[in-house]
Amino acid sequence: MSFISVILTGANFDLRTLKLTDSSKTSYNLVDGDIPCTPETEPSYGYAWNFCEPIPAALTPEPCRNMGKYGVVVQYAEFVKGDYYCFILGHFNPKQNELKYNLIDVSDPTKGVTVAYPAGDRCSATDSRLRSASIEVQCANTPAVVVSAQEPATCAYNLVMKSYYGCPTVRILRCFIFFKCLDSLYNETLTLFVL
């Protein structure tokens, strides 16, 4: 079992509800296309992902299923009929990999959280670096909306989605008779001023 509930600098995020299961009807998936401002026709790359375990087989994109590749985050394409390619951008095995969680904005936890998945496929035959992916879950008033997928650095991918699960949960304050409150998530003592 893996943990996808995390406390970062006092902000608690619970991403468990975003995890896809065999009974899920759709996956987190994005297919980009040709860049209109270039003369070349770029292939359409697709990205699919899950949280803390591989994408369920039924939701794994066809090119990856056809190649027998399953992962938490994948990039795929079919250049011509039957010519598939699929790269695993991130694996997660709690016994081998450690997930890294970060705030999108360290000064404002309400912006959301990023989960980094290491240990994807090799970058190329000549580059032994492993692919990696981070999933940015921006705080928004929606269950889950896929926004974008980018490769800001070679073999390092950033996938963005919006969800209210990317919002920190409510803080609980314990107040005492002297109007001092202990913020149990931030481990600070706050003083309340009564006007």
Output the DSSP codes for 13-82: EE-GGG---TT-S--EEEE----TTSSS-PPPPEEEE-SSSPPPGGGS-HHHHHHT---SEEEEEEEETT
Residue 154 burial (10 A CB sphere; 0-12, 13-18, 19+): exposed
Structure confidence by residue, pLDDT tens digits, 85-133:
899 998 887 777 777 888 999 888 889 999 998 889 999 889 889 999 9
Query: Tokens in use for 2?
Result: 């893996």
pLDDT of 9 > 80? The answer is no
Taking the C-alpha atoms of residue 130 and residue 153, their distance in angstroms, rounded to an integer, is 12
Taking the C-alpha atoms of residue 76 and residue 87, their distance in angstroms, rounded to an integer, is 6
DSSP state of 1: -
Per-residue pLDDT band for 187 (boundaries 50, 70, 90) equals very low
Structure confidence by residue, pLDDT tens digits, 43-99:
678 999 998 888 999 999 988 988 899 999 999 987 777 778 899 998 887 777 777
The closest alpha carbon to 73, from 160, 134, 5, 6, belongs to 134
Of the options 1.10.10.10, 3.40.1000.10, 2.70.130.10, 2.60.120.260, the CATH number for the domain spanning 5-170: 2.70.130.10
pTM of the model: 0.77
Query: Tokens in use for 65?
Result: 């299923």
Q: Any idea where the domains of the chain sit in the sequence?
A: 5-170
Query: Tokens in use for 132?
Result: 């990696």
**High-pLDDT (> 70) share of the chain, %:** 75
pLDDT of 138 > 90? The answer is yes
pLDDT attached to residue 132: 92
Measure CA 58 to chain center.
20
